[in-house]
């Protein structure tokens, strides 16, 4: 999939006589929007069938609003990112809708407030080895991450006051998941999954002994 993104970005960059930076900007935009749309389509289709679409939507949006500036672990291949992100959000929505409907939403909210705020303070913004962040940008992104988090957590508190408990719990679970993706263990687990997938592909493509 990424090969097509690269080809399209290269064509668009050449059409405007762009630089390497222009190409990378197009490539980043294509990756972000296309994978987001594909992921949203998969999540929407499955959760509509399971009857938990609104919970998946809230969980995904709350997580994404913080992830934009706080960052988080991701996979080496776009296809893996799409599949894993879809599976996680579908699973979270299903769990909230079927097993956490009677949980005290204020307990979940307080746990989310403390844990996510602490993780953002420690790790935000996370950065990839290939895309280092300057110290100035780190300070800026950390502040924006906190603002985004406080905005979301206050909206979820308002939802609890209005007795939209399942919606609030789904949003909190989405934030907690985002909090997890920023930790070192999340990066290690994602790296392990990538290695397993690479080894499976190598085995699949290997020439059998005769």
Question: 100-129: buried (b, 16+ CB within 10 Å) or exposed (e) per residue?
Answer: beeeebeebbeebbeebbebbeebbbbeee
Q: Does the residue 41 lie in any domain?
A: yes
% pLDDT > 70, the chain: 91
Q: Does the residue 88 lie in any domain?
A: yes
pLDDT band at 135 (very low <50, low <70, confident <90, very high): confident
Q: Does the residue 112 lie in any domain?
A: yes
Q: Does the residue 74 lie in any domain?
A: yes
3-class DSSP state of 179: helix
Per-residue pLDDT at 111:
96
User: Quick one: average pLDDT of 114-131?
Assistant: 82
Q: Does the residue 210 lie in any domain?
A: no
Residue identified by tokens 């407030």 is: 113
Each residue's pLDDT tens digit, 145-173 = 999 999 999 999 999 999 999 999 999 99
Q: Does the residue 97 lie in any domain?
A: yes
Q: Does the residue 185 lie in any domain?
A: yes
CA 72 from centre of chain:
7
Each residue's pLDDT tens digit, 192-204 = 998 888 887 665 6
Total domains in the chain come to: 1
Phi-psi region of 187 (alpha: psi -120 to 50; beta: other; left: phi over 0): alpha
33-38 contacts at long range (C-beta below 8 A, 24 or more positions apart): 34/5, 35/78, 35/81, 35/82, 38/82
pLDDT band at 210 (very low <50, low <70, confident <90, very high): very low
Q: Does the residue 209 lie in any domain?
A: no
% pLDDT > 90, the chain: 53
- Record the pTM: 0.83
Segments forming the whole domain that contains residue 189 = 2-203
């Amino acid at each position: 999939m990424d090969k097509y993104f690269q080809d399209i970005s290269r064509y668009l960059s050449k059409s405007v006589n762009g630089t390497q930076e222009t190409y990378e900007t197009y490539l980043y935009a294509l990756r972000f929007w296309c994978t987001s749309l594909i992921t949203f389509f998969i999540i929407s289709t499955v959760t509509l069938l399971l009857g938990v679409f609104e919970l998946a939507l809230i969980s995904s949006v709350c997580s994404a609003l913080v992830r934009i500036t706080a960052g988080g672990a991701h996979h080496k291949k776009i296809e893996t990112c799409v599949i894993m992100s879809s599976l996680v959000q579908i699973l979270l929505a299903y769990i909230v809708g079927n097993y956490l409907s009677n949980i005290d939403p204020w307990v979940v909210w307080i746990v989310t407030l403390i844990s996510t705020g602490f993780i953002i303070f420690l790790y935000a913004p996370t950065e990839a080895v290939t895309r280092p962040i300057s110290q100035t940008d780190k300070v800026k992104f950390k502040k924006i991450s906190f603002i985004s988090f406080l905005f979301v957590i206050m909206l979820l508190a308002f939802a609890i006051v209005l007795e939209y408990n399942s919606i609030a719990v789904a949003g909190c679970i989405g934030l907690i998941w985002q909090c997890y993706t920023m930790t070192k263990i999340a990066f290690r687990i994602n790296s392990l999954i990538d290695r397993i997938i690479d080894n499976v592909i190598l085995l699949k493509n290997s020439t059998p002994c005769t």
